[in-house]
Structure 1
Amino acid sequence: MFSQTSKEVSYSATNGRAYITFERPEKRNALTYEMFNQMMAYIRQAEEDDDVRIIIFRAEGDHFSAGHDLSQVGKEYGFDPSGKGRRPSQRARLHWDKHHIEQFRNICFCVKPTLGLIKGYCVGAGLHLIEACDFAIADETAKIGHPEQKMGLAGAAYMTTWNIVASGPKKAREILMLGDILTPAAAMDAGFVNKVVPRGELDSAGEEWAEKIVRLPRDAVAFGKAAFHLAYDSLGMNTQFVQGYVMHALSTNIRFEEDEMNFMREKRDKGVAAAAKDREDRYKNPSE
């Protein structure tokens, strides 16, 4: 057995399984960019270990991931927190988004099968990660969706093509534009997860599936993954990793009018928590 911990993501490998575990429960496992970089290093480590047959993404605490750490959002482009500096250049936006979407591409095109175990919140970047995985199992506490789309994206997502293929164009548009949170059953109907299990049975359900995969021949699994990658290419799904970063870079440069919710301005003036609350309050159903 091999184990390694770095900051807020840990890695261990045993019995044909590699576990990448988020260890930031006090922040609902919100993902920092440093965590993404470490995750990529662990994926490469698992790919190079011939004893690893499957990579399992899991999390400590009650939530898989609340998405990107919103305290970092904007800083990756070089925004001046005071709002007085020059706007980030388009080249800075494109360069960063290209780097970041390639991290999701690395998960999608990982040579080993990948399985995500979802509990509690699985939103934003956490859900992008799950979309890039081969399999996903959720327990009945899961809350799944893309509420970050209400920050001014409205469909300019990293994995839009995947969403359309998984859910159909109309359902994908609904999920991305409205940004609603799906129940586990609705998420399974929309193609986000393979299976829903009772609370407390998530780990055992993951181990059951992992054991089935571990028993398969290594070469057969490798060819199976390669076949899927070829199929993605024939369906044109690989283009999402180009259009995704271009559209995301453009969408983060939209002009907000005075009567519109500007998350970055609210974050600057009120802080992350208050800005997030204002965002959700703005889009609440009036009947609620």
Structure 2
Amino acid sequence: MIDAVKQLVTYEARDGRAYITFNRPEKKNALTEAMFDLLMSHLDRAEADDDVRVIVFRGAGGDFCTGHDLAEVGHEYGEAQLDATGKPRRPSQRARLHHDRHYIARFQRIFLSPKPTLALISGYCIGAGLYIAEGCDLSIASDNAKIGHPEQKLGLSGASYFGAWEIMAMGPRKARELLLLAELWSAQEALSAGLVNKVVPHADLTAAGEAWAERIVRLPRDGLAIGKAAAHLAYDSLRLTSQFTYGYVMHALATNVRYEKDEFNFMKAKRESGVRASSHGREAFYKPADGTDTTT
């Protein structure tokens, strides 16, 4: 079982590059908690290897990453507890804050990595997958990419881990559009908004990534380290790193939303009909009355 998990996020280092690959294509590279932990282990390994000058994130099977596996959502704060009458109790705020602080630290690690990072985005790049890409220094998208934060429809409505970065990168109006409407953007829409650096044909994505990686690995190691440290100082001066504090606090609050009768409750729907049906139900609920498909 342990060996099987290890194959879900793979690591390869060569020619000054470290490749961290999400390898769960049958689930469009949705990440479990075990996969997140493995991802952090690979990041440690890349940062400790002096021959590695750039870290490349990519997905196997045509998709980058569809975020946190929804089958685990709802259990992240521990197993349900019962009160004295036998009724389920909501997780405490302390449990929520403890988990979310640990969870967001993973994206912070990528954002503040001492080595340059590059995301190669193809297919779906949503939810936590997009947080990983946003945490990277550079991102190249293939022309078939679908990028966004549809998880905001779970009730978060703007409780983003990268809210400050998104506002800085895209401006407040586009950032609010990305989060509040929770639509999926095409690669060109993401490029126009400033969410990615470059768009290439899908067949050229690997070559485009290699070309940029090669330009980075030719730079001196100390120069790269100093450059990343300078970027960290700039982020601090702009208070962008504060997003990793307010992000986990807002997420903990958002997961404790009270739903009214006329609102879609993903957790309730998931308990009653399972992940797939509740995911489709969520999209159907938010679909405009004119039938416009907002997911593409």
Q: 1:50 is matched with which residue?
A: 50
Aligned to 1:200, what secondary structure does the other structure show? helix
Match of 1:277 in 2: 280
Which residue of 2 is the match for residue 73 of structure 1?
73
Contact 1:116 1:130 in 2 (8 A): yes
Paired letter, 2:201: P
Unmatched runs of 5 consecutive residues or more in structure 2:
292-296
Correspondence for 1:164: 167
Equivalent of 1:237 in 230, 240, 243: 240
Structure 1 unaligned runs (5+)? none
User: Equivalents in 1 of 2:75, 2:170: separation in Å?
Assistant: 32
Deviations 1:96-121 (A, max 9, x none): 00001000000001011000000000
Using the alignment, how far apart are the partners of 1:17 and 1:259 within structure 2? 51
Residues 1:134 and 1:80: Cα distance change in structure 2 (over 3 Å): same
| Deviation per residue, 1:177-216 (Å, 9 max, x gap) | 1001101011011221100001211000000000000000
1:35 is matched with: 35
2:20 match: 20
Report how many aligned residue pairs link the two structures: 284
The code of the aligned residue for 2:162 comes to: M
Taking the aligned partners of 1:42 and 1:277, their CA distance within structure 2 comes to 34
SS of equivalent to 2:56 = strand
Structure 1 segment 97-116 matched on structure 2, within 5 A: 97-116=100-119
Calculate the TM-score normalised by the size of structure 2. 0.94
TM-score (norm. length: structure 1)? 0.96
Q: Say which SS state the counterpart of residue 99 (structure 2) adopts.
A: helix
SS in 2 for 1:248: helix
Aligned to 2:202: 199
> Which stretch shifts more, 272-281 or 5-14?
5-14
Residue 253 of structure 2: aligned partner: 250
Q: Which residue of 2 aligns with 1:147?
A: 150
SS at match of 2:226: helix
Separation of aligned partners in 2, 1:58 and 1:173: 27
Which residue of structure 1 lines up, in the alignment, with residue 264 of structure 2?
Answer: 261
* Code of the aligned partner of 2:22: F
Cα offset, 1:33, TM superposition = 1.1
CA contact (8 A) 1:79 1:87 kept: no
C-alpha distance 81-137 of structure 1, shift in aligned 2 (>3 A): farther
Cα distance in 2 for partners of 1:191, 1:221 equals 23
- RMSD of aligned alpha carbons: 1.4
Counterpart of 2:43 in 1: which secondary structure?
A: helix
Structure 1 counterpart of 2:241, one-letter code: N
Contact 2:107–2:131 (8 Å) recurs in 1: yes
Q: Given that residues 81 and 89 in structure 2 are in contact (C-alpha distance below 8 angstroms), is that contact kept between their aligned partners in structure 1?
A: no
Aligned amino acid, residue 97 of structure 2: L
Identity within the alignment, %: 58
Contact 1:147/1:179 (CA < 8 Å) preserved in 2? yes
Q: CA deviation at 1:275?
A: 0.5
Task: Classify the secondary structure of the residue corresponding to 2:202.
Answer: coil
SS at match of 1:141: coil
Q: In 2 relative to 1, CA 187–81 (structure 1 residues): closer, same or farther, beyond 3 Å?
A: farther
Change (3 A) 1:62 1:84: farther
Q: What's the CA shift string for 1:13-56, capped at 9, x where partnerless?
A: 00000000011000000011111111111101100100000000
Distance between the aligned counterparts of 2:173 and 2:79, measured in 1?
A: 34
Question: Following the alignment from structure 2 to structure 1, what is the Cα–Cα distance between the partners of residues 275 and 241?
Answer: 34
1:62 maps to which residue? 62
How far did residue 81 of structure 1 move?
A: 9.8
Secondary structure (helix, strand or coil) at the match of 2:129 reads helix
Q: Hey, what's the Cα distance between the residues in 2 that align with 1:226 and 1:109?
A: 8
Deviations 1:245-281 (A, max 9, x none): 0000001001000110000000000000001001101
